[in-house]
Amino acid sequence: MDIRAKVAEVFIINMADVFMLDEEYIAANPDLNFKEDLAANSIKYFPLLAALEDELGIEISLHDFQNEGKTVSLGIDYVTWLYKKQKNM
């Protein structure tokens, strides 16, 4: 499994839990916008980012994630980039 696929799996599982959505729905709709489509706020972002940090062993800035990860796909791309950067890959 490549890094992006690993990040995507962890991301989607945790996002489904936090946003109370079906994993298949999230995977099938990578253009879901956190703010516009999901009405995301810090109450939703914090548990998602905390779970990603714990499971992937990286640090994620809320502010940076909100700027870079506006959609599910962009969020996965950003977390993948952070993972590679922080793990020196």
pLDDT digits (tens, 9 = 90+) for 11-43: 999 999 999 999 999 999 999 999 999 999 989
CA distances from residue 83 to 4, 22, 37, 48, 74 in whole angstroms, order as listed: 9, 25, 26, 15, 14
Q: How many domains does the chain have?
A: 1
- Asked whether the beta carbons of 8 and 79 are under 8 A apart, the reply is no
What CATH number is given to the structural domain containing 20? Answer: 1.10.1200.10
- Domain hosting 77: range is 3-86
pTM comes to 0.94
Tell me what pLDDT residue 71 has: 98
As given in the structure block, the two tokens for residue 31 are: 């253009």
